[in-house]
Structure 1
Amino acid sequence: MKIKIAIPSKGRISEPSINILEKAGLGLVDKNNRKLISKTFNENIDVMFARASDIPEFVNDGVADMGVTGVDLIEESESDVNELLDLRFGRTKLVLAAPEESSITSVEDITPDMKIATEFPVLTEKYLKQHGLDLKIVKLSGSTEAAPFIGIADLITDLTSTGTTLKMNHLKIIDVILESTIKLIANHDSLKEKKELIEAVSTSIQGVLDADRKKLIMMNVNEENLDKVKEVMPSMGGLTISEVLSDKKTVAAQAVIDEKQVFELVNDLRNAGARDILVVPIERII
Protein backbone atom coordinates (compact mmCIF):
# COMPACT_ATOMS: atom_id res chain seq x y z
CA MET A 1 0.00 0.00 0.00
CA LYS A 2 1.40 3.38 -1.04
CA ILE A 3 0.44 7.02 -0.53
CA LYS A 4 1.09 10.20 -2.49
CA ILE A 5 1.72 13.55 -0.78
CA ALA A 6 1.00 16.57 -2.99
CA ILE A 7 3.21 19.59 -2.39
CA PRO A 8 3.55 22.88 -4.32
CA SER A 9 5.84 22.68 -7.34
CA LYS A 10 6.86 26.34 -7.02
CA GLY A 11 6.13 29.49 -5.06
CA ARG A 12 6.82 30.68 -1.52
CA ILE A 13 5.70 27.47 0.22
CA SER A 14 7.41 24.95 -2.07
CA GLU A 15 10.86 24.85 -0.44
CA PRO A 16 9.53 24.97 3.17
CA SER A 17 7.26 22.03 2.28
CA ILE A 18 10.20 20.01 0.92
CA ASN A 19 12.32 20.94 3.95
CA ILE A 20 9.77 19.79 6.51
CA LEU A 21 9.38 16.45 4.71
CA GLU A 22 13.17 16.03 4.70
CA LYS A 23 13.37 16.71 8.43
CA ALA A 24 10.61 14.13 8.93
CA GLY A 25 12.75 11.53 7.12
CA LEU A 26 10.92 11.77 3.80
CA GLY A 27 13.54 13.46 1.65
CA LEU A 28 13.44 13.10 -2.12
CA VAL A 29 15.63 10.36 -3.56
CA ASP A 30 16.66 12.70 -6.41
CA LYS A 31 16.15 16.22 -5.09
CA ASN A 32 17.71 17.85 -8.18
CA ASN A 33 15.38 16.12 -10.62
CA ARG A 34 11.81 16.87 -9.62
CA LYS A 35 9.34 14.82 -11.59
CA LEU A 36 5.55 15.00 -11.36
CA ILE A 37 5.80 11.97 -9.07
CA SER A 38 9.07 11.72 -7.13
CA LYS A 39 10.21 8.93 -4.83
CA THR A 40 11.14 9.55 -1.20
CA PHE A 41 13.44 7.53 1.06
CA ASN A 42 10.38 5.51 2.07
CA GLU A 43 9.38 3.18 -0.76
CA ASN A 44 5.71 3.42 0.23
CA ILE A 45 5.53 7.21 0.10
CA ASP A 46 5.80 9.34 -3.06
CA VAL A 47 5.70 13.10 -3.50
CA MET A 48 3.49 14.62 -6.17
CA PHE A 49 4.37 18.14 -7.37
CA ALA A 50 1.38 20.31 -8.27
CA ARG A 51 0.14 23.89 -8.26
CA ALA A 52 -0.72 24.95 -4.72
CA SER A 53 -4.20 25.98 -5.85
CA ASP A 54 -4.87 22.49 -7.28
CA ILE A 55 -3.77 20.54 -4.20
CA PRO A 56 -7.00 20.87 -2.15
CA GLU A 57 -9.06 19.44 -5.02
CA PHE A 58 -6.50 16.71 -5.75
CA VAL A 59 -6.72 15.59 -2.12
CA ASN A 60 -10.50 15.99 -2.09
CA ASP A 61 -10.80 13.78 -5.19
CA GLY A 62 -8.27 11.18 -4.01
CA VAL A 63 -5.70 11.96 -6.71
CA ALA A 64 -3.36 12.50 -3.75
CA ASP A 65 -3.78 10.95 -0.31
CA MET A 66 -2.21 13.88 1.53
CA GLY A 67 -1.22 17.42 0.68
CA VAL A 68 0.45 20.61 1.84
CA THR A 69 -1.40 23.82 1.02
CA GLY A 70 -2.90 26.99 2.44
CA VAL A 71 -6.17 27.46 4.30
CA ASP A 72 -7.06 30.20 1.79
CA LEU A 73 -6.86 27.71 -1.08
CA ILE A 74 -8.79 25.04 0.82
CA GLU A 75 -11.59 27.50 1.54
CA GLU A 76 -11.56 29.00 -1.95
CA SER A 77 -11.89 25.58 -3.61
CA GLU A 78 -14.53 24.50 -1.05
CA SER A 79 -12.73 21.17 -0.77
CA ASP A 80 -13.84 18.61 1.82
CA VAL A 81 -10.55 17.43 3.30
CA ASN A 82 -9.25 16.45 6.72
CA GLU A 83 -6.90 19.07 8.19
CA LEU A 84 -4.27 17.13 10.12
CA LEU A 85 -1.65 19.68 11.17
CA ASP A 86 -0.90 23.39 11.10
CA LEU A 87 2.64 23.49 9.73
CA ARG A 88 3.35 26.93 11.25
CA PHE A 89 4.72 28.65 8.17
CA GLY A 90 3.34 30.66 5.28
CA ARG A 91 1.12 32.84 7.45
CA THR A 92 -0.82 35.33 5.37
CA LYS A 93 -4.11 37.23 5.25
CA LEU A 94 -6.75 37.73 2.59
CA VAL A 95 -7.66 41.39 2.87
CA LEU A 96 -10.05 43.89 1.37
CA ALA A 97 -8.11 46.90 0.08
CA ALA A 98 -8.79 50.22 -1.67
CA PRO A 99 -6.62 53.01 -3.12
CA GLU A 100 -5.11 55.28 -0.45
CA GLU A 101 -6.96 58.32 -1.78
CA SER A 102 -10.29 56.48 -1.77
CA SER A 103 -13.02 57.70 0.61
CA ILE A 104 -13.64 54.07 1.64
CA THR A 105 -12.45 53.49 5.20
CA SER A 106 -14.71 50.57 6.19
CA VAL A 107 -16.99 47.99 4.60
CA GLU A 108 -19.94 50.28 5.40
CA ASP A 109 -18.64 52.77 2.82
CA ILE A 110 -18.99 50.28 -0.05
CA THR A 111 -21.86 50.98 -2.47
CA PRO A 112 -23.62 48.53 -4.83
CA ASP A 113 -22.28 50.22 -7.98
CA MET A 114 -18.67 49.39 -7.11
CA LYS A 115 -16.63 46.57 -8.61
CA ILE A 116 -14.10 44.34 -6.85
CA ALA A 117 -11.17 42.47 -8.41
CA THR A 118 -9.70 39.30 -6.94
CA GLU A 119 -8.03 35.93 -7.40
CA PHE A 120 -10.42 34.59 -4.75
CA PRO A 121 -13.99 35.02 -6.08
CA VAL A 122 -15.55 32.38 -3.80
CA LEU A 123 -14.18 33.82 -0.56
CA THR A 124 -14.85 37.35 -1.77
CA GLU A 125 -18.47 36.60 -2.62
CA LYS A 126 -19.01 34.95 0.77
CA TYR A 127 -17.57 37.99 2.51
CA LEU A 128 -19.73 40.39 0.54
CA LYS A 129 -22.87 38.37 1.26
CA GLN A 130 -22.06 38.41 4.98
CA HIS A 131 -22.19 42.19 4.76
CA GLY A 132 -25.31 42.33 2.59
CA LEU A 133 -23.44 43.42 -0.53
CA ASP A 134 -23.89 42.28 -4.13
CA LEU A 135 -21.00 43.67 -6.14
CA LYS A 136 -19.66 42.73 -9.54
CA ILE A 137 -16.61 40.53 -8.97
CA VAL A 138 -13.85 40.69 -11.58
CA LYS A 139 -11.75 37.53 -11.45
CA LEU A 140 -8.05 38.03 -12.15
CA SER A 141 -5.13 35.59 -12.17
CA GLY A 142 -2.45 38.06 -11.13
CA SER A 143 -1.49 41.73 -10.66
CA THR A 144 -4.64 42.30 -8.64
CA GLU A 145 -3.17 45.38 -6.95
CA ALA A 146 -3.16 47.23 -10.31
CA ALA A 147 -6.90 46.80 -10.90
CA PRO A 148 -8.13 50.04 -9.22
CA PHE A 149 -5.59 52.17 -11.10
CA ILE A 150 -6.44 50.90 -14.60
CA GLY A 151 -10.21 51.25 -14.16
CA ILE A 152 -11.03 47.56 -13.75
CA ALA A 153 -12.32 47.79 -10.18
CA ASP A 154 -12.81 50.10 -7.20
CA LEU A 155 -11.60 47.58 -4.63
CA ILE A 156 -9.55 44.41 -4.46
CA THR A 157 -9.16 41.40 -2.22
CA ASP A 158 -5.63 40.04 -2.13
CA LEU A 159 -3.21 38.03 -0.01
CA THR A 160 -0.66 39.85 2.10
CA SER A 161 1.75 38.82 4.84
CA THR A 162 3.17 42.20 5.87
CA GLY A 163 1.13 44.71 3.88
CA THR A 164 4.30 46.10 2.31
CA THR A 165 3.35 45.31 -1.31
CA LEU A 166 -0.05 46.94 -0.84
CA LYS A 167 1.57 50.09 0.55
CA MET A 168 4.07 50.15 -2.31
CA ASN A 169 1.09 50.10 -4.69
CA HIS A 170 -0.69 52.89 -2.76
CA LEU A 171 -3.40 50.64 -1.37
CA LYS A 172 -4.82 50.61 2.16
CA ILE A 173 -6.30 47.65 4.02
CA ILE A 174 -10.00 48.08 4.77
CA ASP A 175 -10.71 44.72 6.42
CA VAL A 176 -9.25 41.24 6.97
CA ILE A 177 -11.37 38.54 5.32
CA LEU A 178 -9.38 35.45 6.27
CA GLU A 179 -6.19 34.57 8.14
CA SER A 180 -4.37 31.68 6.53
CA THR A 181 -1.51 29.32 7.28
CA ILE A 182 -0.17 26.16 5.69
CA LYS A 183 -1.85 22.86 6.57
CA LEU A 184 -1.12 19.19 6.16
CA ILE A 185 -4.34 17.71 4.80
CA ALA A 186 -5.63 14.23 3.97
CA ASN A 187 -8.33 12.61 1.89
CA HIS A 188 -11.15 11.23 4.07
CA ASP A 189 -11.19 7.80 2.41
CA SER A 190 -7.40 7.50 2.43
CA LEU A 191 -7.38 8.31 6.13
CA LYS A 192 -9.56 5.25 6.71
CA GLU A 193 -7.95 2.88 4.22
CA LYS A 194 -4.30 3.90 4.76
CA LYS A 195 -4.57 5.09 8.33
CA GLU A 196 -1.33 3.59 9.63
CA LEU A 197 0.86 5.11 6.92
CA ILE A 198 -0.83 8.52 7.02
CA GLU A 199 -0.57 8.65 10.81
CA ALA A 200 3.12 7.75 10.56
CA VAL A 201 3.68 10.74 8.26
CA SER A 202 1.64 13.04 10.48
CA THR A 203 3.45 11.88 13.64
CA SER A 204 6.88 12.39 12.06
CA ILE A 205 6.00 15.91 10.91
CA GLN A 206 4.50 16.72 14.32
CA GLY A 207 7.82 15.62 15.80
CA VAL A 208 9.63 18.12 13.57
CA LEU A 209 7.25 20.89 14.66
CA ASP A 210 7.70 20.00 18.33
CA ALA A 211 11.49 20.10 17.92
CA ASP A 212 11.46 23.56 16.36
CA ARG A 213 13.72 25.89 18.36
CA LYS A 214 14.49 23.19 20.89
CA LYS A 215 17.99 22.09 21.92
CA LEU A 216 19.39 19.11 23.79
CA ILE A 217 21.80 20.24 26.48
CA MET A 218 24.19 17.67 27.95
CA MET A 219 26.77 18.02 30.74
CA ASN A 220 28.82 16.24 33.37
CA VAL A 221 28.14 17.12 37.00
CA ASN A 222 29.86 16.12 40.24
CA GLU A 223 27.22 14.61 42.51
CA GLU A 224 27.87 17.28 45.13
CA ASN A 225 26.74 19.95 42.61
CA LEU A 226 23.74 18.09 41.20
CA ASP A 227 21.13 19.86 43.35
CA LYS A 228 22.47 23.26 42.29
CA VAL A 229 22.26 22.25 38.64
CA LYS A 230 18.69 21.02 39.07
CA GLU A 231 17.70 24.40 40.53
CA VAL A 232 18.78 26.36 37.43
CA MET A 233 17.77 23.77 34.85
CA PRO A 234 14.43 24.24 33.06
CA SER A 235 13.37 21.37 30.80
CA MET A 236 10.41 19.74 29.11
CA GLY A 237 10.41 16.65 31.31
CA GLY A 238 13.11 17.07 33.94
CA LEU A 239 16.75 16.05 33.84
CA THR A 240 17.81 12.64 32.62
CA ILE A 241 20.63 11.38 34.82
CA SER A 242 23.09 8.56 34.11
CA GLU A 243 26.22 7.37 35.90
CA VAL A 244 29.64 8.24 34.54
CA LEU A 245 32.34 5.60 35.04
CA SER A 246 35.11 7.61 36.67
CA ASP A 247 37.08 7.83 39.89
CA LYS A 248 35.05 10.85 40.99
CA LYS A 249 31.36 10.62 41.77
CA THR A 250 30.10 12.13 38.53
CA VAL A 251 26.85 11.90 36.60
CA ALA A 252 25.88 12.83 33.06
CA ALA A 253 22.77 14.99 32.83
CA GLN A 254 20.71 16.01 29.80
CA ALA A 255 17.48 17.82 29.05
CA VAL A 256 15.53 19.47 26.24
CA ILE A 257 15.27 23.25 26.47
CA ASP A 258 14.05 26.20 24.39
CA GLU A 259 16.64 27.74 22.09
CA LYS A 260 16.11 31.18 23.66
CA GLN A 261 17.22 29.82 27.04
CA VAL A 262 20.63 28.60 25.87
CA PHE A 263 22.70 31.78 26.23
CA GLU A 264 21.95 32.52 29.89
CA LEU A 265 21.53 28.89 30.92
CA VAL A 266 25.02 27.78 29.87
CA ASN A 267 26.58 30.38 32.16
CA ASP A 268 24.20 29.50 35.01
CA LEU A 269 25.02 25.81 34.67
CA ARG A 270 28.74 26.45 34.64
CA ASN A 271 28.44 28.57 37.77
CA ALA A 272 26.41 25.78 39.40
CA GLY A 273 29.23 23.31 38.80
CA ALA A 274 28.38 21.69 35.46
CA ARG A 275 31.21 21.00 33.02
CA ASP A 276 31.74 19.55 29.54
CA ILE A 277 28.49 21.26 28.49
CA LEU A 278 27.23 20.37 25.01
CA VAL A 279 24.32 22.01 23.16
CA VAL A 280 22.96 19.82 20.36
CA PRO A 281 20.26 20.54 17.74
CA ILE A 282 17.16 18.32 17.69
CA GLU A 283 15.47 17.16 14.48
CA ARG A 284 12.38 15.52 15.94
CA ILE A 285 10.64 14.96 19.26
CA ILE A 286 8.23 12.01 19.26
Structure 2
Amino acid sequence: MIKLGLPNKGRLSDKSLELLKQAGFQIQTKDRKLSAFCENFMMEVIFVRAGDIPGFIQEGIIDLGITGQDLVEEKGVAVEKILELDFGQAELVLAVSKDFDKEQLFLKKLKIATSYPKITLHFCEAQGMNADIIDMSGAVELAPKLGLSDAIVDLTSSGETLRMNDLLPLMTLFKTKACLFANKEKARSERKRIDQMVMAFQSVLMAKNQKFLIANLPKMSLGDLAAIVPGLSGPTVMSIVGREDLCAIQVVVHEREMTEAIDQLKKLGASGILVTNIEQMVP
Protein backbone atom coordinates (compact mmCIF):
# COMPACT_ATOMS: atom_id res chain seq x y z
CA MET A 1 0.00 0.00 0.00
CA ILE A 2 1.30 3.43 -0.97
CA LYS A 3 1.54 6.11 1.72
CA LEU A 4 0.87 9.60 0.36
CA GLY A 5 1.65 12.67 2.45
CA LEU A 6 -0.55 15.76 2.08
CA PRO A 7 -0.28 19.14 3.82
CA ASN A 8 -2.62 19.22 6.83
CA LYS A 9 -3.21 22.97 6.49
CA GLY A 10 -2.09 26.02 4.60
CA ARG A 11 -2.14 27.13 0.98
CA LEU A 12 -1.59 23.65 -0.49
CA SER A 13 -3.95 21.57 1.66
CA ASP A 14 -7.37 22.14 0.05
CA LYS A 15 -5.98 22.09 -3.50
CA SER A 16 -4.24 18.76 -2.88
CA LEU A 17 -7.43 17.13 -1.63
CA GLU A 18 -9.39 18.61 -4.51
CA LEU A 19 -6.92 17.13 -7.00
CA LEU A 20 -7.30 13.66 -5.45
CA LYS A 21 -11.08 13.93 -5.65
CA GLN A 22 -11.05 15.12 -9.27
CA ALA A 23 -8.68 12.30 -10.19
CA GLY A 24 -11.20 9.77 -8.88
CA PHE A 25 -9.55 8.76 -5.61
CA GLN A 26 -12.28 8.27 -2.99
CA ILE A 27 -10.97 9.43 0.37
CA GLN A 28 -13.12 10.09 3.43
CA THR A 29 -11.62 12.90 5.50
CA LYS A 30 -12.72 14.31 8.81
CA ASP A 31 -11.49 17.32 10.78
CA ARG A 32 -8.43 16.58 12.92
CA LYS A 33 -8.04 13.11 11.44
CA LEU A 34 -4.37 12.41 10.78
CA SER A 35 -4.81 9.70 8.14
CA ALA A 36 -7.39 8.24 5.79
CA PHE A 37 -7.59 5.24 3.48
CA CYS A 38 -8.54 5.44 -0.18
CA GLU A 39 -11.61 3.32 -0.88
CA ASN A 40 -10.78 2.48 -4.51
CA PHE A 41 -6.97 2.41 -4.59
CA MET A 42 -4.33 0.78 -2.38
CA MET A 43 -3.30 4.04 -0.70
CA GLU A 44 -3.22 5.62 2.72
CA VAL A 45 -3.17 9.41 2.97
CA ILE A 46 -1.17 10.91 5.84
CA PHE A 47 -1.83 14.55 6.82
CA VAL A 48 1.30 16.32 8.07
CA ARG A 49 2.95 19.73 8.00
CA ALA A 50 3.96 20.71 4.47
CA GLY A 51 7.48 21.42 5.72
CA ASP A 52 7.82 17.88 7.10
CA ILE A 53 6.84 16.14 3.88
CA PRO A 54 10.25 16.40 2.11
CA GLY A 55 12.10 14.79 5.02
CA PHE A 56 9.43 12.13 5.51
CA ILE A 57 9.74 11.16 1.84
CA GLN A 58 13.53 10.95 1.97
CA GLU A 59 13.45 8.82 5.12
CA GLY A 60 10.82 6.48 3.66
CA ILE A 61 8.20 7.30 6.29
CA ILE A 62 5.89 8.10 3.38
CA ASP A 63 6.31 6.99 -0.22
CA LEU A 64 4.94 10.06 -1.99
CA GLY A 65 3.98 13.58 -1.04
CA ILE A 66 2.53 16.78 -2.42
CA THR A 67 4.37 19.86 -1.25
CA GLY A 68 6.08 22.98 -2.57
CA GLN A 69 9.32 22.98 -4.51
CA ASP A 70 10.53 25.71 -2.16
CA LEU A 71 10.33 23.38 0.84
CA VAL A 72 12.21 20.59 -0.94
CA GLU A 73 14.90 23.09 -1.94
CA GLU A 74 15.17 24.49 1.57
CA LYS A 75 15.41 21.07 3.20
CA GLY A 76 18.04 19.95 0.70
CA VAL A 77 16.64 16.42 0.52
CA ALA A 78 17.25 13.76 -2.12
CA VAL A 79 13.78 13.00 -3.45
CA GLU A 80 12.44 12.44 -6.96
CA LYS A 81 10.10 14.98 -8.55
CA ILE A 82 7.38 12.97 -10.26
CA LEU A 83 4.93 15.60 -11.51
CA GLU A 84 4.49 19.38 -11.46
CA LEU A 85 0.98 20.43 -10.49
CA ASP A 86 -1.08 23.49 -11.41
CA PHE A 87 -1.41 25.16 -8.01
CA GLY A 88 0.72 26.66 -5.27
CA GLN A 89 2.52 29.06 -7.60
CA ALA A 90 4.51 31.64 -5.66
CA GLU A 91 7.82 33.48 -5.62
CA LEU A 92 10.39 33.67 -2.86
CA VAL A 93 11.41 37.32 -2.86
CA LEU A 94 13.76 39.68 -1.08
CA ALA A 95 11.69 42.63 0.16
CA VAL A 96 12.51 45.82 2.06
CA SER A 97 10.58 48.69 3.58
CA LYS A 98 9.54 51.37 1.13
CA ASP A 99 11.84 53.88 2.83
CA PHE A 100 14.89 51.60 2.66
CA ASP A 101 17.86 53.07 0.80
CA LYS A 102 18.34 50.55 -2.00
CA GLU A 103 21.89 51.79 -2.62
CA GLN A 104 22.83 50.23 0.73
CA LEU A 105 21.79 46.77 -0.42
CA PHE A 106 25.33 45.75 -1.34
CA LEU A 107 27.20 48.32 0.77
CA LYS A 108 26.15 47.45 4.32
CA LYS A 109 25.73 44.28 6.29
CA LEU A 110 22.05 43.46 6.14
CA LYS A 111 19.87 41.70 8.65
CA ILE A 112 17.48 39.48 6.70
CA ALA A 113 14.57 37.70 8.40
CA THR A 114 13.24 34.57 6.72
CA SER A 115 11.76 31.11 7.11
CA TYR A 116 14.15 29.98 4.34
CA PRO A 117 17.61 30.47 5.85
CA LYS A 118 19.45 28.01 3.56
CA ILE A 119 18.05 29.38 0.28
CA THR A 120 18.61 32.93 1.52
CA LEU A 121 22.22 32.26 2.55
CA HIS A 122 23.06 30.64 -0.80
CA PHE A 123 21.45 33.54 -2.64
CA CYS A 124 23.33 36.18 -0.65
CA GLU A 125 26.64 34.38 -1.19
CA ALA A 126 25.97 34.14 -4.93
CA GLN A 127 25.05 37.83 -5.12
CA GLY A 128 28.00 38.96 -3.00
CA MET A 129 25.71 40.36 -0.33
CA ASN A 130 26.98 40.61 3.27
CA ALA A 131 24.10 39.48 5.47
CA ASP A 132 23.12 38.07 8.83
CA ILE A 133 20.26 35.60 8.39
CA ILE A 134 17.59 35.65 11.09
CA ASP A 135 15.60 32.41 11.11
CA MET A 136 11.90 33.08 11.83
CA SER A 137 9.08 30.54 11.75
CA GLY A 138 6.25 32.96 11.01
CA ALA A 139 5.10 36.59 10.69
CA VAL A 140 8.30 37.33 8.79
CA GLU A 141 6.80 40.45 7.20
CA LEU A 142 6.66 42.14 10.64
CA ALA A 143 10.41 41.92 11.21
CA PRO A 144 11.34 45.28 9.59
CA LYS A 145 8.55 47.09 11.48
CA LEU A 146 9.78 45.62 14.76
CA GLY A 147 13.36 46.62 14.00
CA LEU A 148 14.49 43.01 13.85
CA SER A 149 15.75 43.18 10.27
CA ASP A 150 16.51 45.44 7.33
CA ALA A 151 14.86 43.07 4.86
CA ILE A 152 12.92 39.84 4.59
CA VAL A 153 12.87 36.84 2.29
CA ASP A 154 9.39 35.39 2.08
CA LEU A 155 6.90 33.71 -0.25
CA THR A 156 4.42 35.82 -2.13
CA SER A 157 1.79 34.91 -4.69
CA SER A 158 -0.17 38.12 -5.17
CA GLY A 159 2.07 40.59 -3.32
CA GLU A 160 -0.88 41.73 -1.21
CA THR A 161 0.69 40.84 2.15
CA LEU A 162 3.83 42.73 1.22
CA ARG A 163 1.84 45.82 0.24
CA MET A 164 -0.20 45.66 3.45
CA ASN A 165 3.03 45.81 5.43
CA ASP A 166 4.62 48.56 3.29
CA LEU A 167 7.22 46.20 1.85
CA LEU A 168 8.69 46.42 -1.63
CA PRO A 169 9.98 43.30 -3.43
CA LEU A 170 13.42 43.85 -4.95
CA MET A 171 14.69 40.47 -6.13
CA THR A 172 13.28 37.00 -6.80
CA LEU A 173 15.24 34.14 -5.27
CA PHE A 174 13.12 31.18 -6.29
CA LYS A 175 9.91 30.36 -8.17
CA THR A 176 7.86 27.56 -6.72
CA LYS A 177 4.73 25.49 -7.22
CA ALA A 178 3.21 22.33 -5.80
CA CYS A 179 4.67 19.07 -7.05
CA LEU A 180 4.30 15.36 -6.45
CA PHE A 181 7.54 13.98 -5.00
CA ALA A 182 8.56 10.38 -4.33
CA ASN A 183 11.04 8.44 -2.27
CA LYS A 184 13.78 7.40 -4.72
CA GLU A 185 13.63 3.72 -3.81
CA LYS A 186 9.81 3.62 -3.93
CA ALA A 187 9.87 5.43 -7.28
CA ARG A 188 11.44 2.24 -8.64
CA SER A 189 9.77 -0.50 -6.59
CA GLU A 190 6.26 0.99 -6.82
CA ARG A 191 6.62 2.32 -10.37
CA LYS A 192 3.44 0.69 -11.72
CA ARG A 193 1.20 2.05 -8.98
CA ILE A 194 2.84 5.48 -9.06
CA ASP A 195 2.38 5.63 -12.83
CA GLN A 196 -1.33 4.90 -12.32
CA MET A 197 -1.58 7.83 -9.92
CA VAL A 198 0.36 10.13 -12.25
CA MET A 199 -1.90 9.23 -15.18
CA ALA A 200 -4.97 10.08 -13.07
CA PHE A 201 -3.47 13.41 -11.99
CA GLN A 202 -2.38 14.27 -15.53
CA SER A 203 -5.86 13.56 -16.84
CA VAL A 204 -7.22 16.23 -14.49
CA LEU A 205 -4.50 18.73 -15.37
CA MET A 206 -5.06 18.22 -19.11
CA ALA A 207 -8.82 18.70 -18.74
CA LYS A 208 -8.50 22.00 -16.89
CA ASN A 209 -10.11 24.87 -18.83
CA GLN A 210 -11.05 22.53 -21.70
CA LYS A 211 -14.61 22.05 -22.98
CA PHE A 212 -16.21 19.38 -25.16
CA LEU A 213 -18.16 20.80 -28.09
CA ILE A 214 -20.71 18.79 -30.10
CA ALA A 215 -22.58 20.18 -33.11
CA ASN A 216 -24.29 19.32 -36.38
CA LEU A 217 -22.56 20.75 -39.42
CA PRO A 218 -23.33 20.81 -43.17
CA LYS A 219 -20.92 18.44 -44.92
CA MET A 220 -20.09 21.14 -47.43
CA SER A 221 -18.46 23.14 -44.56
CA LEU A 222 -16.11 20.37 -43.39
CA GLY A 223 -13.20 21.82 -45.35
CA ASP A 224 -13.19 24.91 -43.15
CA LEU A 225 -13.68 23.10 -39.85
CA ALA A 226 -10.09 22.30 -38.83
CA ALA A 227 -9.03 25.93 -39.16
CA ILE A 228 -11.69 26.98 -36.64
CA VAL A 229 -11.51 24.15 -34.09
CA PRO A 230 -8.33 22.09 -34.59
CA GLY A 231 -8.91 20.11 -31.38
CA LEU A 232 -6.27 17.83 -29.90
CA SER A 233 -5.87 15.55 -32.92
CA GLY A 234 -8.42 17.13 -35.22
CA PRO A 235 -12.24 17.16 -34.94
CA THR A 236 -14.13 13.88 -34.85
CA VAL A 237 -16.69 13.65 -37.67
CA MET A 238 -19.61 11.19 -37.65
CA SER A 239 -22.55 10.46 -39.93
CA ILE A 240 -26.14 11.31 -38.95
CA VAL A 241 -28.71 8.64 -39.78
CA GLY A 242 -31.11 9.84 -42.45
CA ARG A 243 -29.22 13.05 -43.24
CA GLU A 244 -26.91 13.03 -46.24
CA ASP A 245 -26.34 16.77 -45.98
CA LEU A 246 -25.30 16.89 -42.30
CA CYS A 247 -22.65 15.33 -40.09
CA ALA A 248 -21.99 15.45 -36.34
CA ILE A 249 -18.71 16.86 -35.05
CA GLN A 250 -17.02 16.48 -31.68
CA VAL A 251 -14.02 18.56 -30.63
CA VAL A 252 -12.13 19.74 -27.55
CA VAL A 253 -11.92 23.53 -27.30
CA HIS A 254 -10.19 25.69 -24.68
CA GLU A 255 -12.74 27.78 -22.79
CA ARG A 256 -11.03 31.07 -23.72
CA GLU A 257 -11.58 30.21 -27.42
CA MET A 258 -15.13 28.93 -27.06
CA THR A 259 -17.06 32.13 -27.84
CA GLU A 260 -15.12 32.72 -31.05
CA ALA A 261 -15.38 29.05 -32.05
CA ILE A 262 -19.18 29.02 -31.66
CA ASP A 263 -19.49 32.23 -33.65
CA GLN A 264 -17.40 30.81 -36.50
CA LEU A 265 -19.28 27.50 -36.45
CA LYS A 266 -22.62 29.31 -36.70
CA LYS A 267 -21.31 31.12 -39.77
CA LEU A 268 -20.57 27.71 -41.31
CA GLY A 269 -24.17 26.67 -40.70
CA ALA A 270 -23.68 24.65 -37.50
CA SER A 271 -26.74 23.83 -35.39
CA GLY A 272 -27.56 21.91 -32.22
CA ILE A 273 -24.37 23.11 -30.56
CA LEU A 274 -23.74 21.56 -27.15
CA VAL A 275 -20.86 22.45 -24.80
CA THR A 276 -20.02 20.32 -21.75
CA ASN A 277 -17.33 20.22 -19.07
CA ILE A 278 -14.49 17.70 -19.21
CA GLU A 279 -13.49 16.13 -15.92
CA GLN A 280 -10.53 14.09 -17.13
CA MET A 281 -8.53 13.67 -20.33
CA VAL A 282 -6.25 10.65 -20.42
CA PRO A 283 -3.02 11.50 -22.28
Pick the TM interval, shorter chain.
over 0.9
Q: Calculate the TM-score normalised by the size of structure 1.
A: 0.92
Q: Is the 8 A contact 1:240 1:254 kept in 2?
A: yes
2:260 match:
264
Shift of 1:33: 4.9
Q: Is the 8 A contact 1:58 1:64 kept in 2?
A: yes
Q: Is the 8 A contact 2:106 2:130 kept in 1?
A: no
Please list the CA deviations of residues 198-244 of structure 1 after superposition, one character each: whole Å capped at 9, or x if unmatched: 01111111111111111111112343343344443331111112222
2:208 match:
212
How many equivalent residue pairs? 282
1:94, 1:115 → 2: CA distance? 17
Q: Is the 8 A contact 1:8 1:51 kept in 2?
A: yes
Q: Note closer, same or farther for the CA distance 1:230–1:9 as it changes in structure 2 (3 Å cut).
A: same
2:11 maps to a residue whose letter is: R
Q: RMSD value over aligned CA atoms?
A: 1.8
2:60 maps to a residue whose letter is: G
1:123 match:
119
The 5 A counterparts of 1:115-154 are 115-154=111-150
2:59 match:
61
Is 2:222 the counterpart of 1:226? yes
Q: Is the 8 A contact 1:107 1:175 kept in 2?
A: no
Please list the CA deviations of residues 59-106 of structure 1 after superposition, one character each: whole Å capped at 9, or x if unmatched: 111111111111110111111111112112111111112221111357
Is 2:79 the counterpart of 1:88? no
The 5 A counterparts of 1:68-79 are 68-79=66-77
Shift of 1:251: 2.3
1:115, 1:105 → 2: CA distance? 15
Q: Note closer, same or farther for the CA distance 1:165–1:8 as it changes in structure 2 (3 Å cut).
A: same
1:6, 1:146 → 2: CA distance? 31
Shift of 1:134: 4.7
1:42 match:
40
Identity within the alignment, %: 33
Q: Partner of 1:63: helix, strand, or coil? A: coil
1:182 match:
178
Q: Is the 8 A contact 1:94 1:179 kept in 2?
A: yes
Q: Is the 8 A contact 2:91 2:175 kept in 1?
A: yes
Q: Is the 8 A contact 2:36 2:45 kept in 1?
A: yes
1:280, 1:204 → 2: CA distance? 20
1:55, 1:163 → 2: CA distance? 26
Q: Is the 8 A contact 1:222 1:249 kept in 2?
A: yes
Q: Which runs of 5+ in 1 are unaligned?
A: none
1:214, 1:34 → 2: CA distance? 35
Q: Note closer, same or farther for the CA distance 1:137–1:203 as it changes in structure 2 (3 Å cut).
A: same
Aligned to 1:160, which of 149, 156, 163?
156
Q: Partner of 1:89: helix, strand, or coil? A: coil
Q: Note closer, same or farther for the CA distance 1:247–1:135 as it changes in structure 2 (3 Å cut).
A: closer
Q: Partner of 1:54: helix, strand, or coil? A: helix
2:95, 2:224 → 1: CA distance? 57
1:246 match:
242
Q: Note closer, same or farther for the CA distance 1:233–1:177 as it changes in structure 2 (3 Å cut).
A: closer
Q: Partner of 1:221: helix, strand, or coil? A: strand
Q: Note closer, same or farther for the CA distance 1:172–1:224 as it changes in structure 2 (3 Å cut).
A: closer
Q: Is the 8 A contact 2:5 2:65 kept in 1?
A: yes
Q: Note closer, same or farther for the CA distance 1:108–1:18 as it changes in structure 2 (3 Å cut).
A: same
Q: Note closer, same or farther for the CA distance 1:102–1:208 as it changes in structure 2 (3 Å cut).
A: same
1:43, 1:88 → 2: CA distance? 23
Shift of 1:162: 2.1
Q: Is the 8 A contact 1:106 1:175 kept in 2?
A: no
Q: Is the 8 A contact 2:106 2:128 kept in 1?
A: no
2:17 match:
18
Q: Partner of 1:267: helix, strand, or coil? A: helix
Q: Is the 8 A contact 2:70 2:176 kept in 1?
A: yes
